[in-house]
């Protein structure tokens, strides 16, 4: 094979690799996945903290540490699931996945936990959750900060 033909072939392969596009997850599916995760992961955590660790709802409501424990535990569970599988049960139900924006691979545990903390921040100011309506790639503020994409999984 001549060098010129080899070079054309390599350029063609490189162009095909660059043209791989992601199918971005719909915003409504992301919201549904979050609600599903709240029922499947966060609600049992709240129940365990309220009735197993604390002595009931009155003690839970009077404690400032209990809600912080619940959010932290939920964040840790979320980070483990996203780093290992790329999705939580809610995301799996709607066939969406969190991936690195450059490689398309799963993100690390630390990055997944930072993404969760950034989500808490962006949900608090509400502006971060409105960003996907103005972007073609449907990235929220926490996705921009952590350089992640939420993509529709190929079925």
112 domain-assigned: yes
Name the residue range of residue 33's domain.
24-152
60 domain-assigned: yes
49 domain-assigned: yes
Q: What is the pLDDT of residue 4?
A: 64
101 domain-assigned: yes
Q: What is the DSSP string of 7-32?
A: HHHHHHHHHHHHT----BPPHHHHHH
Q: What is the pLDDT of residue 19?
A: 41
4 domain-assigned: no
Q: What is the pLDDT of residue 2?
A: 66
The closest of 28, 55, 37, 27 to 132, measured between CA atoms, is 27
* Tens-level pLDDT at each residue, the chain (155 residues): 566 666 666 666 655 544 457 788 899 999 999 999 999 999 999 999 999 988 888 898 898 999 999 999 999 999 999 999 999 999 999 999 999 988 889 999 999 999 999 999 999 998 888 898 898 888 899 999 999 999 998 76
Bridge partners of 24? 151
73 domain-assigned: yes
Number of domains in the chain: 1
17 domain-assigned: no
State the pTM of this model: 0.82
Contact 63, 57 (CB under 8 A): no
């Amino acid at each position: 094979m001549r060098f010129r033909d080899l070079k054309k072939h390599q350029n063609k392969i490189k162009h095909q690799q660059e043209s791989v596009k992601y199918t971005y997850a719909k915003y409504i599916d992301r919201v549904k996945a979050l609600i599903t995760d709240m029922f499947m992961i966060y609600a049992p955590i709240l129940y365990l903290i309220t009735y197993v660790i604390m002595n009931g709802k009155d003690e839970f409501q009077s404690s400032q540490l209990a809600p912080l424990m619940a959010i932290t535990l939920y964040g840790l569970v979320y980070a483990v699931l996203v780093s290992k599988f790329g999705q939580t049960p809610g995301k799996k139900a709607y066939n969406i996945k969190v991936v690195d924006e450059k490689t398309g691979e799963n993100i690390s545990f630390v990055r997944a936990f930072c993404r969760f903390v950034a989500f808490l921040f962006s949900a608090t100011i509400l502006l971060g959750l409105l960003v996907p309506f103005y972007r073609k790639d449907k990235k929220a503020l926490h996705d921009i900060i952590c350089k992640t994409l939420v993509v529709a999984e190929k079925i």
